[in-house]
Amino acid sequence: MSNLSIIRDSYEFGIEIMCTNDHLRRLIQRQAIRTASTIRRDGIFLILFAGLILTACGKQKYKAEEDKAQPIGIPYEVKAPAGLPPVPVTADNRMTAESIALGRRLFYDTNLSSDGTISCASCHNPENYFSDSWPKAIGIDAQTGPRNTPTALNSAYNVTQFLDGRAGSLEEQAGGPIANPLEMNLPHDACVAKLNQDQKYVDEFARVFGPGRITMNKIVKSIAAFERTLISGNSPFDRYQYGGRKDAIGAEAIRGLAIFTDRNRGNCATCHPIGDKFALFSDGKFHNVGAGMNSEGELTDMGRFVQTKVEADRGAFRTPSLRNVAKTAPYMHDGSLKTLKEVVDFYMGGGNSNPQLDKEMRPLGLSARDRSDLVKFLESLTGEVPANSGPPVKE
């Protein structure tokens, strides 16, 4: 087993090797290889060195530093488009036009990776509705991650971040990929040091937060501020459902909506709810839908279970929003389904059987026309990409 494979397994099971001390990280990786090569139970590597990581490297996930720096400019309000509720903002990260502009620059800056080749936008590409077109994320040195890349659009509404919910905020999420060895591979202290050597960044951070050194806290707050502007709504469905325009979607999509909301037919709205005034198309919960099984019928990714150690969470992942779903193929946490038709067909079969399969999963008897109508409805959820969200103009 190579270093790359054990890093990938560690990432998949939530033990992200993000030590800023390179020597210590190599020691942990070597111990991981020895441990994972000899101990395996029920298809899951038992990462016995997790305690060493926690004590020697601190938390695996980014936590805000002691400094409580806040943007100092005039507060900025993001207007939610039709079909969406007010955009939630955290009390400790006041949004300003300046912090959003800084976050946008950071989001597209490949210098936040160790070799200057990968940015946040490498996986969250605006041309792909802030996702990518790969089954699984591709990071530094063309390394492949364990899961499909979710869109960054409307991520401000997520109760938790990442498909397994291991981050509780956009700020916490923003720091993870920067240091992750499979993604941008730039330890946080190295990231901070690099930006502090760039006078343009030093000046821009000072304008946003006031005088002082650049810190990781300021970096992730800026990126999160920009990500909270990535709000996509006003889809044909929104204009039909909430705008009173009954000609906004066609007859096929209208029939598909009826199937989507009928518990005895599609039963889709149970996990992808539609409210009276808005629709997030996600319940924010974690479900095992029977995806990601190997040829022996075993789960290949434990999902939420790694974070909670609750048996019912094995193979469970956060319900993705279906907004813009027609633009973010491939699908499922492992990117195994290429088209919306394949997704609909998968759910018609009730998912692959396993002990933790969600109780709402069951075979559905929909006709070929029903399935086609359901796809047409899903296509009507494509909304508008917000303005001023692409790469900033270079100075």
Distance of alpha carbon 175 from alpha carbon 179, whole angstroms: 7
DSSP string of 299-330, one letter each residue: BS--BTHHHH--GGGTTBEEPPP-TTGGGS-S
How many beta carbons lie within 10 A of that of residue 195, not counting itself? 23
Q: Identify the three-state secondary structure at position 156.
A: helix
Distance of alpha carbon 273 from alpha carbon 300, whole angstroms: 28
The distance of Cα 37 from the centroid of its chain, to the nearest Å, equals: 30
Contacts 24+ apart (CB under 8 A), 37-45: 37/1, 43/298, 43/299, 43/300, 44/13, 44/302, 45/9, 45/13
Closest CA to 185 of 245, 218, 140: 140
Distance of alpha carbon 270 from alpha carbon 101, whole angstroms: 38
Closest CA to 318 of 375, 272, 383: 272
Q: Is the peptide bond before 181 cis (omega within 30 degrees of 0)?
A: no
Q: Is 360 a catalytic residue?
A: no
Distance of alpha carbon 160 from alpha carbon 13, whole angstroms: 17
How many beta carbons lie within 10 A of that of residue 277, not counting itself? 9
Distance of alpha carbon 111 from alpha carbon 117, whole angstroms: 7
Contacts 24+ apart (CB under 8 A), 202-206: 204/102, 204/105, 205/102
Q: Are 372 and 252 in contact (CB under 8 A)?
A: yes
What are the phi and psi torsion angles at 151 (to 5°)?
-65, 150
Q: Is 241 exposed, middle or buried (0-12, 13-18, 19+ CB in 10 A)?
A: buried
Structure tokens at 336: 């195994």
Say which of 98, 171, 172, 183 is annotated catalytic: 183
Q: Which residues, 6+ apart, have CB-to-CB distance to 130 below 8 Å?
A: 124, 151, 152, 153, 230, 385, 389
Catalytic residue annotation = 183
